[in-house]
Structure 1
Amino acid sequence: MREHTHPHRRAVLVGLIGFGAMAGSALAAPAQRVRAVRVDAAPLAAKGVSRYAARVAAAAEPAMRAQFAGLMTADRRAPTAVLQISSISLSSNPGRSFRMLDGEDDWISGAGLLVGPNGAVLRRVPLSISNRGVNGPPVMLLQDEDRRMHELVDKMAYWFARELTD
């Protein structure tokens, strides 16, 4: 029986895969660090709903702080993460057992902005989030408007932060 003096093909393949994984993780970009977070609901307020825009912004601020807690840095050169809210719609006809018309979902849209220390927008991430098929008794859902709004802003902040960490 002859002894093998070269490595087994499977061992070589496993070694190459391991090297590729190490190289890939070494080359992966680190998560974007930010020095502060803000919410900008001015585009929503400009549509004539300034008091509601203030409520939405107030709901989004703690969501932004929570989602970006692990990305904060004291470095003054780091950008600020700004959640810009342009539109929000809470369905006025929730709870239907089947959907025949568009517009029966809750949704929010805007953008996540990375703003440099000099005020320049370094990156813009368009965001459009929906809660599809909002269900339940219509009276209860309409009374629970704040919870539905908070769900939307929480998801928007989550996806913005995730975009910066992927």
Structure 2
Amino acid sequence: MASGNQTSPVRKTRLFDALAYLGLLPFVLGILMQATGVEVFGVGGRLWFAAYSAVILSFLCGIWWGGALNRVAHRHRIALAVLSNLVCVGGWVALLLYRTPWALPLLALGYAFVVTAEARLNPNLPRLYDYFRTRSRVTYLVIGCHLIMIVTILFTD
């Protein structure tokens, strides 16, 4: 029987995989709020969606920051640290522009950049491959949610 330190990476990441998929729910809720005109705590679907998107994009970049901090010998360490900050600032700018047509495409581009850069810069430990495969899948679903929200806004505004 395997000890606690010898469990498979797949087993170690089940909770994180589940949380990644559960993280899609606020995106879907924002789309539904926009489509129905419902507000929660005085916040409409468009702001709900953009704010949550900016926060999650920053969270993903924070993982790069942590990887750069903890993996001193990583050959892309400086790039990860700088890019994490640039993408976070881009997400913040998009949030400030949430009422404009530029916000959601800018946020979606941020996610597309993150998933593409992760494939090239390889900031993650190889033993976490299964988790980051899940995260890539969820990121594509998030980009899809952005496209659905853009269409929803076109029909509701």
Alignment TM-score, normalising by the size of structure 2 = 0.26
Alignment TM-score, normalising by the size of structure 1 = 0.25
Query: Which one has the bigger strand percentage?
Result: 1
Q: Compare CA radii of gyration and give the structure with the larger one.
A: 1
